[in-house]
Structure 1
Amino acid sequence: MNIGLGLPIDDPALLMSWARRADAGPFSTLGLLDRLVFDNPEPLITLATLAGATSRIRVQTEVLIVPVHNTAILAKQTATLDRLSGGRFTLGIGVGGREDDCLAAGIDIRRRGRRLDEQMTLLRRTWSGEPYSEGSGPIGPTPSTPGGPEVLFGGFAPAAIERVGRFGDGFLGAALPPQFMDGLFRNVEKVWEKYERPGSPRLVAQMNVALGTEDTVEQARHNIRSYYDFGGRADHVANGLLTTPKEIREATDVFGGIGADEVILYCWSSDIDQVDRLADALF
């Protein structure tokens, strides 16, 4: 099972150092979250920069709120990132749930799921080299990965699971303990069979971690509360933060036991020494 790192967003100037240190270590992936109306770096631009500063580690959106993006431009951006990274890019996708993001992007929050379904059809068509739409030609460049970058869908609703079978390569489950993730993983496998997809879906779990001093842990909790400060779940998510090597090892082992192909350790504090602490704890 692979172990990746989710990157903190509170100090973008440190992300190059995070990426280089992770690339020199045992980690498989660098993940980066998305919001529009928030103080976070734009993920595709940031991951392109980090891909250029690294040589082997994968880069991944975790997750990109695709409905707030222009579809044609997104097709070009993602194909370019996949090409420039040598196929090291994974597009993690979600519908989002913040009304201010949708307002700023000029989309109807009530149609974001239907919009995403329409976007996925266009993205898959474009990545395969077909004309984008009637009257317009293909949009390049050709991705390094045949058919487009790997796509993982995140979310908890049945529609998100269904999209894995229809459009995706796998599922990304975030901020849920293993006993709940187990059911989601099994549902993904059933949908995969329903659509008669070959092989197996990739199953990726994300857990929130902070390993270090009390200041590191408190910074992480503060950043989680700020990001999830909508819908009344901020304290619940912050209280689920894993803060000891034992907790992180045990949760990682359980995720492996329910079939996770990869676990992303999402770091909410900019304390870069966590890269080495987590490597020591797990490897």
Structure 2
Amino acid sequence: MKIGLGLPIDDPALLLTWAQRADAGPFSTLGLLDRLVFDNPEPLITLAALVGATSRIRLQTEVLIAPVHNTAMLAKQTATLDRLSGGRFTLGIGIGGREDDCLAAGIDIRRRGRRLDEQMPLLRRTWRGEPYGEGVGPIGPAPTTPGGPEVLFGGFAPAAIERVGRFGDGFLGAALPPQFMAGLFRNVEAVWEKHDRSGRPRLVAQANVALGPKSTVEQARRNIRDYYGFSGRADHVADGLLTTPETIRKAVDDFIGIGADEVMLYCWSPDIDQIGRLADTLF
């Protein structure tokens, strides 16, 4: 059973300690979200620091908003992370939905999906060591992982599912309970077969958790409402927060029951003692 932790973003100075404690324990992966116009640490820079603070645990973006990033630089940064981590890096990737992120990056929000579709062949080509484009040679360094880091696509729309079959290694499903996530997982598997991909897609589920005293839970709910305030669904997401050992264990069991290879427990409170509480609950 693989269980990962999504890192809180309130206090970046705590993240090294979070990473070291998680690396010393039973957890499989550390995830970090991406936003441009928000008070969060930049994920690729942060994960590069966490690579040096850990030796075992995987690190992933959850998910990186690729369209707001320069493609050539993104190819270089992600290959570097894969190389520095010895292949422990997973690129969770998506298109985002915030207009202010797109405005700040100077891209058209209406083209963000098409932009990601254009970025993926360039990323794959670069990771294989091929010339980036006409008049442009290869961009190094070569990643440790042959062909580049593992790529998981996040999202809910059919286009996001289709990208798993076209470009990805798997799917990262967030913010849905297991009974609804099951349909997305089956759709991913169908798209995988449609594109005649070998093996099977890796399926990762994410659940929002806060385990600890009332102050920890309240802070997590505030942070969720702040982060999802733009969506009109902030209260709904906050109400879905899992806050007891029983509900967390059940969610993990149910996600595994529908075929999840890994469950990411996103911790919205910086209370670092949650690492031990979650380990005691699940292992």
Structure 1 equivalent of residue 188 of structure 2: 188
Q: How does 1:232-243 map to 2 (within 5 A)?
A: 232-243=232-243
Q: Following the alignment from structure 1 to structure 2, what is the Cα–Cα distance between the partners of residues 60 and 275?
A: 18
Cα-to-partner distance string for 1:141-194 (whole Å, 9 max, x where unaligned)? 000000000000000000000000000000000010000000000000000000
Q: How does 1:150-229 map to 2 (within 5 A)?
A: 150-229=150-229
Please state whether the residue corresponding to 2:173 is helix, strand or coil.
strand
Q: Following the alignment from structure 2 to structure 1, what is the Cα–Cα distance between the partners of residues 40 and 231?
A: 19
Q: How does 1:83-102 map to 2 (within 5 A)?
A: 83-102=83-102
Q: Which amino acid aligns with 1:82?
A: D
Structure 2 equivalent of residue 16 of structure 1: 16
Cα-to-partner distance string for 1:76-98 (whole Å, 9 max, x where unaligned)? 00000000000000000010000
Q: Following the alignment from structure 2 to structure 1, what is the Cα–Cα distance between the partners of residues 29 and 235?
A: 27
Q: Following the alignment from structure 1 to structure 2, what is the Cα–Cα distance between the partners of residues 227 and 132?
A: 35
Q: Does 1:47 align with 2:62?
A: no
Give unpaired runs (5+ residues) of structure 1: none
Structure 2 equivalent of residue 126 of structure 1: 126
Q: Which amino acid aligns with 1:26?
A: P
Q: Following the alignment from structure 2 to structure 1, what is the Cα–Cα distance between the partners of residues 225 and 41?
A: 18
Q: Following the alignment from structure 1 to structure 2, what is the Cα–Cα distance between the partners of residues 22 and 262?
A: 16
Q: Which amino acid aligns with 2:61?
A: T
Q: Which amino acid aligns with 1:63?
A: V
Q: Following the alignment from structure 2 to structure 1, what is the Cα–Cα distance between the partners of residues 21 and 54?
A: 9
Q: Following the alignment from structure 2 to structure 1, what is the Cα–Cα distance between the partners of residues 37 and 186?
A: 34
Structure 1 equivalent of residue 34 of structure 2: 34
Please state whether the residue corresponding to 2:266 is helix, strand or coil.
strand
Q: How does 1:262-281 map to 2 (within 5 A)?
A: 262-281=262-281
Moved over 6 A (4+): none
Q: Following the alignment from structure 2 to structure 1, what is the Cα–Cα distance between the partners of residues 231 and 53?
A: 37
Q: Does 1:7 align with 2:7?
A: yes
Cα-to-partner distance string for 1:172-219 (whole Å, 9 max, x where unaligned)? 000100000000000000000000000000000000000000000000
RMSD (Å) for aligned C-alpha atoms:
0.4
Q: Following the alignment from structure 1 to structure 2, what is the Cα–Cα distance between the partners of residues 7 and 175?
A: 16
Q: Following the alignment from structure 2 to structure 1, what is the Cα–Cα distance between the partners of residues 110 and 268?
A: 30
Q: Following the alignment from structure 1 to structure 2, what is the Cα–Cα distance between the partners of residues 111 and 50?
A: 33
Q: Following the alignment from structure 1 to structure 2, what is the Cα–Cα distance between the partners of residues 49 and 258?
A: 34
Shift of 1:231: 2.2
Q: Which amino acid aligns with 1:263?
A: V
Give unpaired runs (5+ residues) of structure 2: none
Q: Following the alignment from structure 2 to structure 1, what is the Cα–Cα distance between the partners of residues 207 and 231?
A: 20
Please state whether the residue corresponding to 1:63 is helix, strand or coil.
strand
Please state whether the residue corresponding to 1:230 is helix, strand or coil.
helix
Q: Following the alignment from structure 1 to structure 2, what is the Cα–Cα distance between the partners of residues 204 and 178?
A: 11
Q: Following the alignment from structure 1 to structure 2, what is the Cα–Cα distance between the partners of residues 113 and 175?
A: 20
Q: Which amino acid aligns with 1:260?
A: A
Provide the aligned length of Structure 1 versus Structure 2. Answer: 283
Please state whether the residue corresponding to 1:173 is helix, strand or coil.
strand
Q: Following the alignment from structure 1 to structure 2, what is the Cα–Cα distance between the partners of residues 264 and 159?
A: 23
Q: Following the alignment from structure 2 to structure 1, what is the Cα–Cα distance between the partners of residues 273 and 51?
A: 21
Query: Identical aligned pairs, as a percentage?
Result: 85
TM-score, scaled relative to structure 1: 1.00
Q: Following the alignment from structure 1 to structure 2, what is the Cα–Cα distance between the partners of residues 254 and 231?
A: 27
Q: Following the alignment from structure 1 to structure 2, what is the Cα–Cα distance between the partners of residues 244 and 159?
A: 35
Q: Which amino acid aligns with 2:191?
A: V
TM-score, scaled relative to structure 2: 1.00
Structure 2 equivalent of residue 80 of structure 1: 80
Q: Following the alignment from structure 1 to structure 2, what is the Cα–Cα distance between the partners of residues 131 and 229?
A: 42
